[in-house]
A and B are shown apart, each in its own frame.
Chain A
Amino acid sequence: MKKGLFFLLILFLPFYSVMAAEDFYRFDTEEQQQRFDALTSQLRCLVCQNQTLAESNAGLAEDLRKQVYQQVQRGQSDKQIVAYLVARYGDFILYRPPLSTATVGLWFGPLMILIAAVGYLIYYLRKNKQRRE
């Protein structure tokens, strides 16, 4: 009897740990499932230590996953769903930061550095070549 009770308990206990999402969402099409997976793995759980909505079991993460699920079912586009969440929580919820004047440095910085570095390299080696001639 005790064993059986424990069995039931473990199955229905809310999970607080760092592990895969528990709620189970059924979609009509494979495409919807993939969109849902892609969205929830690019959105941030706001009350966790750096986890995606897909991974987290926090209460808020479950609520937000349910929101995303309902909106995908309703036929909202990815853009609309993202806009909905950003309107309420800000850009922080996106793991892919949007391109704005503030994030120009983020998105173009690496490229600029690479170009500058390679450019300097070529210049330096060319100058070196000239000097040796």
Chain B
Amino acid sequence: MKARVLLPLIIFSFVVILLWRGLSLDPNHLPSPLINRATPAFQLNTLFDPKKTTTQQDLLGHVTLLNIWATWCGSCADEHELLVDIAKDKTLFLYGINYKDNPVTAKDWLKKQGNPYQIVATDPNGNAAIDLGVYVTPETFIIDKKGFIRYTQIGSITPDIWENTLKPIVKKLQGET
């Protein structure tokens, strides 16, 4: 008897609490399964010298901010100024992957807006991005000295996100051997 009386209420409470929690979650946000794993191997041409290739080896030995960007992506434009600013700190290594873009437009863009990247690779068919589990642009990876992905930032970086989230991680990783 008691069960029949309480059961609906218990189930209802559970559902309500779940939905209340759900309101503060973002169902579209996808956490990366590559966290704490080695950066997947890739081999891409560089933007400024198509004959030169770059691989994931270029990420070793320093903390890298690997930024996926494109000229057709509005949010990438939003964060570009901040990236140029961040790049002024010479201890940081910014690695850009130009995603499914036109190399001429891309070079032009960097010339006009400034180039924050030490190396710019091109991924014309998007395969390298798939290997990195990229699903939205821009996406930024923080990779440690050993080449392991430690954090992914989905969407554009705002000054707030940089100061409070990304910079502390970068500083911490730079302290590691």
* In-complex A–B contact (CB below 8 Å): yes
- Name A residues whose Cβ lies closer than 8 Å to a Cβ of B: 46-47, 59-60, 63-64, 67, 86-90, 92
- In the bound assembly, the distance between CA atoms of A60 and B133 in angstroms comes to 11
- In the bound assembly, the distance between CA atoms of A87 and B149 in angstroms comes to 14
**Contact between B34 and A88 (Cβ–Cβ < 8 Å)?**
yes
Name which residue of chain B comes closest to A49, CB basis: B28
Known: A88-B33, A89-B30. A63 touches B136 (CB 8 A): no
Tell me if B77 is interfacial: C-beta within 8 Å of chain A.
Answer: no
Name which residue of chain A comes closest to B3, CB basis: A120
Tell me if B6 is interfacial: C-beta within 8 Å of chain A.
Answer: no
Bitwise, B20-47 to A at CB < 8 A (1) or not (0) is: 0000000000111110000010000000
Known: A63-B126, A64-B130, A67-B130. A86 touches B135 (CB 8 A): no
- In the bound assembly, the distance between CA atoms of A76 and B100 in angstroms comes to 26
- Name B residues whose Cβ lies closer than 8 Å to a Cβ of A: 30-34, 40, 100, 125-127, 130-133, 135-136
**Contact between A87 and B30 (Cβ–Cβ < 8 Å)?**
no
- In the bound assembly, the distance between CA atoms of A88 and B30 in angstroms comes to 11
Sorted from nearest, which 9 A-B pairs have the closest CB atoms?
A88-B133, A46-B135, A90-B33, A63-B126, A89-B133, A92-B30, A60-B135, A47-B135, A47-B136
Residue in contact with A63 in the complex, picked from B34, B130, B132, CB distance below 8 Å = B130
Apart from the given pairs A60-B126, A64-B130, 14 other A-B contacts in the complex at a CB distance below 8 Å? A46-B30, A47-B135, A47-B136, A60-B135, A63-B126, A63-B130, A67-B130, A88-B33, A89-B33, A89-B135, A90-B31, A90-B33, A90-B133, A92-B30
**Contact between A59 and B132 (Cβ–Cβ < 8 Å)?**
no
- In the bound assembly, the distance between CA atoms of A90 and B33 in angstroms comes to 6
Name which residue of chain B comes closest to A62, CB basis: B126
- With a CB–CB cut-off of 8 A, which chain B residues contact A67? 127, 130
- With a CB–CB cut-off of 8 A, which chain B residues contact A86? 33
Known: A46-B30, A59-B100. A88 touches B131 (CB 8 A): yes
Known: A46-B30, A59-B100. A88 touches B130 (CB 8 A): yes
- In the bound assembly, the distance between CA atoms of A67 and B134 in angstroms comes to 14
- In the bound assembly, the distance between CA atoms of A32 and B125 in angstroms comes to 24
30 contacts between A and B (CB under 8 A): A46-B30, A46-B135, A47-B135, A47-B136, A59-B100, A59-B126, A60-B126, A60-B135, A63-B125, A63-B126, A63-B127, A63-B130, A64-B130, A67-B127, A67-B130, A87-B33, A88-B33, A88-B34, A88-B40, A88-B130, A88-B131, A88-B132, A89-B30, A89-B33, A89-B135, A90-B30, A90-B31, A90-B32, A90-B33, A92-B30
